[in-house]
């Protein structure tokens, strides 16, 4: 059974409470449940983790080597700042899908650049929680 790691970065633990007009009403738990359900429907297994800490994300990305078949990452604000996350992602030879609930390219200029995008097989943005379902489906498609 294929295994997917879903990583969520800073402040995404506050989903539901955090600017719902931008990020939607769903909680992190809702988003994670959607990932589990979608993966199950495709006979894949998902593990979901969230942290507010850049170094922890780097550790988890490194650990994914040789264990997971695909990675879904919403690095949140670190998307726009973290060379360390970019470098860690370059260590992986599995499909990486970058997800954002909002569309950062349509927001403030400081959100327009992504350090994740150059290493991502696909970017899914602006689709709210549904973007995670699309990301699991995209991994399934890339692996089959």
Strand 70-74 to 96-100 pairing: parallel
Cα–Cα nearest to 37, from 138, 128, 132, 143: 132
Kindly state the DSSP code that residue 127 receives in the 8-state scheme. S
The residues near 9 (Cβ < 8 Å, ≥ 6 apart) are 50, 51, 52, 57, 73, 74, 75, 76, 77, 78, 79
CA dist 80 and 51 (Å) reads 16
Q: Which is nearer to ligand DQA, 69 or 135 (CB)?
A: 135
Q: Which of these segments, 38-46, 54-62, 72-80, 136-144, binds ligand DQA (CB under 6 A)?
A: 72-80
Window 110-129: residues binding ligand DQA (CB under 6 A): 111
Closest CB to ligand DQA among residues 56, 77: 77
Q: Per DSSP, what are the bridge partners of residue 36?
A: none
Shortest spacing between CB 12 and ligand DQA, in angstroms: 6
> Near ligand DQA by CB under 6 A, which window of 36-44, 50-58, 65-73, 99-107?
99-107
Do 71 and 95 touch, CB atoms closer than 8 A?
A: yes
Report the site for ligand DQA in 10-69 (rule: CB under 6 A): 11
Among 82, 85, 104, 120, binds ligand DQA (CB under 6 A): 104
Contact segment (CB under 6 A) with ligand DQA among 32-40, 61-69, 83-91, 101-109 equals: 101-109
**Active site includes 100?**
yes
Q: Which are the catalytic amino acids?
A: 23, 100
């Amino acid at each position: 059974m294929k295994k997917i790691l879903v990583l969520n970065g800073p402040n995404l633990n506050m989903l539901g409470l955090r600017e719902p007009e931008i990020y939607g009403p769903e909680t992190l738990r809702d988003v994670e449940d959607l990932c589990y359900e979608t993966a199950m429907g495709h006979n894949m297994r998902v593990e979901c983790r969230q942290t507010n800490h850049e170094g922890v994300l780097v550790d988890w990305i490194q650990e994914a080597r040789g264990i997971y078949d695909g990675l879904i990452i919403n690095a949140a604000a670190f998307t726009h700042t973290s060379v360390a996350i970019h470098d860690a992602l370059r260590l992986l030879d599995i499909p990486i899908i970058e997800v954002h609930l909002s569309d950062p390219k349509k927001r403030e200029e400081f959100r327009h650049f992504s350090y994740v995008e150059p290493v991502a097989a696909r970017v899914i943005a602006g689709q709210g929680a549904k973007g995670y379902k699309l990301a699991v489906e995209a991994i399934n498609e890339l692996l089959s």
